[in-house]
């Protein structure tokens, strides 16, 4: 009998490796973007990432092509290990800086 598949716990290095392997620098980005963007999201109780967004957008209220590509890549990520609190599975809000 097969049980549920165990999810992997990811280190920051694992996340950045996945990101760099899947990120394609957008041709639409007019400038040579340098700096950091901050990706925020929630790891839900099933390990899926949801509410993926960019904090402090480069163009104010609008997304830059680089930010849209970063969101696309985070949507590709496999499920994470969900958070635990007092032996209960709980959603966890995360924020990760991505440096260019």
Q: Is residue 5 part of a domain?
A: no
Instruction: Report which of 29, 31, 13 is spatially closest to residue 67, judged by C-alpha positions.
Output: 29
Model confidence at 4, pLDDT cuts 50, 70, 90, reads very low
Domain count, the chain: 1
Q: Which residue has the higher pLDDT, 61 or 78?
A: 78
Residue 100 has pLDDT above 60, yes or no: yes
Residues 93, 81, 48, 1, Cα dihedral to 10°: -160
Look up the domain containing 52 and give its range: 12-99
Within-domain flag for 2: no
* Assigned domain for 54 exists: yes
DSSP 7: P
In a domain, 1, yes or no: no
Q: What is the pLDDT of residues 26-43, one digit of tens each?
A: 988 767 777 889 999 999
**Residue among 3, 4, 8 at smallest CA distance from 79:** 8
What is the rounded CA–CA span in Å between residue 50 and residue 75?
8
Q: Does the residue 7 lie in any domain?
A: no
pLDDT of residue 72: 98
Length of the chain in terms of residues written: 100
Q: Is there a contact between 44 and 84 (Cβ–Cβ < 8 Å)?
A: no
Residue 33 · residue 58 · CB < 8 Å: yes
Asked if residue 95 belongs to a domain, the reply is yes
Which CATH number do you get for residue 53?
A: 3.30.1150
């Amino acid at each position: 009998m097969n049980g549920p598949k165990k999810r992997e716990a990811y280190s920051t290095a694992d996340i950045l490796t996945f990101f760099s392997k899947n990120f394609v620098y957008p041709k639409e980005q007019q400038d040579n973007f340098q700096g950091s963007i901050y990706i925020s999201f929630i790891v839900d109780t099933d390990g899926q990432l949801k509410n993926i967004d960019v904090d402090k957008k480069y163009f104010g209220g609008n997304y830059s092509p680089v930010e849209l590509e970063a969101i696309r890549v985070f949507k590709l990520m496999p499920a994470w290990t969900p958070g635990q609190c007092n032996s209960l599975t709980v959603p966890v809000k995360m924020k990760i800086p991505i440096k260019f």
